[in-house]
């Protein structure tokens, strides 16, 4: 990684403004999944130990004026305080006099959490005025929010853009993300196998193009596979199909040949519901009124055989509607296969696939589980991420 990190700057006694990704699920005022908070702990603890004044900022959800209360950062501050074993002060504003006063009163080792950055209308517009007010709080800027690095917002890119003199470095999570995803792109051990799932091809055309050029095999499941199956002229019933991407799917099939591996059997349901009637059928026997909701057992075995030969695996997107237990088996089976690969680098690309390996209790068996779904895909596509571009070169 050719960016400076928190190790490369003297943070002692300095006001360190850290963009973290605390966009976590909250129910009844409690954080229900603290994975993203835990992912930021190494950077926060390092800064505390070095005697920095740690000012944290993050977005949370998509608040509107009428529902702001449910997107306040208070439950996050509470959970972070429990994980750190020390108080975390939380202010009810992102910028302004209350924030300035709280920052002025900080002692080395203190941790302050600002209110949800999206409460400021200028955040998503990368408003220079908001960015200047945020930058004024800091002696050093740290971006540790890989999951938001593909967005050019005031808190991810604007702070450094309005203060080019401000030291801007990566946190440990950002460093790890760029290192592991960079390894997939630049120097994968072979065979390199990509597993792609999720709903739509059109969201992933760029990354599919890039990975088809890099990978030895690309295994496709989930809703994406339906589009490829239909592009081959097969009946897919009432399955989710990305109609706009059928021509692209045909092109990929023509150009990639047997590099693309599609399901040979699927689990179909008579309706989209957890308690739907289901059956396993070959891909050329999908009933016209049914829909594909998972890959079948023969496909799992075919995919597993290819994955067991791999030395590098990148996985993004579930193999079926894994929110419904009956249609989660394909996704969890792939997670189990990856967990058993002892000599391979296994990188899970955020989003639903990260959620799936967490649910399966197998996240610690992967080499790396990315915290950024969209950011990981854009990085692998070769796009420059605004939140990374602004960081100081090493």
Q: Is 373 labeled as catalytic in the residue annotation?
A: no
Q: How many CB atoms lie within 10 A of CB 216?
A: 16
Q: Is 29 labeled as catalytic in the residue annotation?
A: no
Q: Is 200 labeled as catalytic in the residue annotation?
A: yes
* Catalytic, out of 36, 50, 160, 230: 36
Torsion of CA 124, 125, 128, 130, to 10 degrees: -40
- CA-nearest of 288, 80, 59, 64 to 154 is 59
Measured CA to CA, the distance from residue 236 to residue 328 in angstroms comes to 19
Q: Is 336 labeled as catalytic in the residue annotation?
A: no
Structure tokens at 168: 């801007």
Burial of 119-133, coded b for 16+ CB within 10 Å and e otherwise, reads bbebbbebbeebbbb
* Catalytic, out of 132, 200, 232, 259: 200
Task: Using CB atoms within 10 Å of the CB of residue 384, give its burial: 0 to 12 exposed, 13 to 18 middle, 19+ buried.
Answer: exposed
Which residues pair with residue 15 across a beta bridge?
A: 53
Task: Using CB atoms within 10 Å of the CB of residue 159, give its burial: 0 to 12 exposed, 13 to 18 middle, 19+ buried.
Answer: buried
- Extract the runs of DSSP E, i.e. beta strands, from 166-242: 168-170, 192-196, 217-220
Q: In whole angstroms, how large is the CA radius of gyration of the chain?
A: 22
Helices (H), 30-127: 35-49, 74-84, 97-104
Measured CA to CA, the distance from residue 113 to residue 31 in angstroms comes to 15
* Catalytic, out of 51, 109, 206, 374: 374
CB 307 within 8 A of CB 276: no
CB 74 within 8 A of CB 34: no
Residue 23 φ then ψ, to 5°:
-80, 80
Measured CA to CA, the distance from residue 13 to residue 110 in angstroms comes to 10
Measured CA to CA, the distance from residue 363 to residue 356 in angstroms comes to 9
* Catalytic, out of 223, 351, 372, 373: 351
Active site positions, annotated: 36, 200, 351, 374
């Amino acid at each position: 990684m050719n960016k400076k990190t928190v190790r490369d700057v003297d943070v002692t006694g300095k006001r360190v403004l850290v963009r973290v990704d605390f966009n976590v699920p909250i129910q009844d005022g409690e954080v229900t999944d603290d994975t993203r908070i835990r992912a930021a702990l190494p950077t926060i603890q390092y800064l505390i130990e070095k005697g920095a004044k740690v000012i944290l900022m993050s977005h949370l959800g998509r608040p509107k004026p009428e529902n702001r209360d449910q997107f306040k950062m208070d439950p996050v501050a509470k959970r972070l305080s429990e994980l750190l074993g020390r108080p975390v002060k939380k202010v009810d504003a992102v910028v302004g006099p209350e924030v300035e006063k709280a920052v002025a009163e900080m002692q080395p080792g203190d941790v302050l959490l600002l209110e949800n950055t999206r409460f400021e209308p200028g955040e998503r517009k990368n408003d220079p005025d908001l960015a200047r007010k945020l930058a004024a709080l800091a002696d050093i800027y740290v971006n540790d929010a890989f999951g938001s690095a593909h967005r050019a917002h005031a808190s991810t890119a604007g702070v450094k853009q309005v203060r080019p003199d401000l030291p801007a470095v990566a946190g440990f999570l950002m460093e790890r993300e760029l290192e592991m995803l960079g390894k997939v792109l630049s120097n994968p051990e072979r065979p390199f196998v990509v597993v792609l799932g999720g709903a739509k091809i059109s969201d992933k055309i760029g990354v599919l193009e890039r990975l088809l050029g890099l990978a030895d095999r690309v295994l496709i499941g989930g809703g994406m596979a339906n589009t490829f199956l239909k592009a081959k002229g097969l009946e897919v019933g009432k399955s989710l199909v990305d109609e706009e991407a059928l021509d692209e799917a045909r092109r990929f099939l023509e150009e990639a040949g047997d590099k693309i591996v599609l399901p040979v059997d699927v689990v179909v349901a008579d309706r989209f519901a957890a308690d739907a009637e289901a059956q396993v059928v070959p891909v050329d026997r999908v009933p016209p009124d049914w829909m594909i909701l998972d890959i079948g057992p023969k496909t799992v075995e075919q995919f597993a055989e290819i994955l067991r030969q791999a030395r590098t695996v990148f996985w993004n997107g579930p193999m079926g509607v894994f929110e419904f237990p009956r249609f989660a088996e394909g996704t969890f089976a792939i997670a189990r296969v990856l967990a058993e690969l002892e000599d391979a680098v296994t990188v899970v690309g955020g989003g639903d696939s990260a959620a799936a390996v967490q649910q399966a209790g197998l996240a610690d068996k992967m080499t790396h589980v990315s915290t950024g779904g969209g950011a990981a895909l854009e990085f692998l596509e070769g796009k420059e991420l605004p939140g990374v571009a602004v960081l100081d070169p090493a």
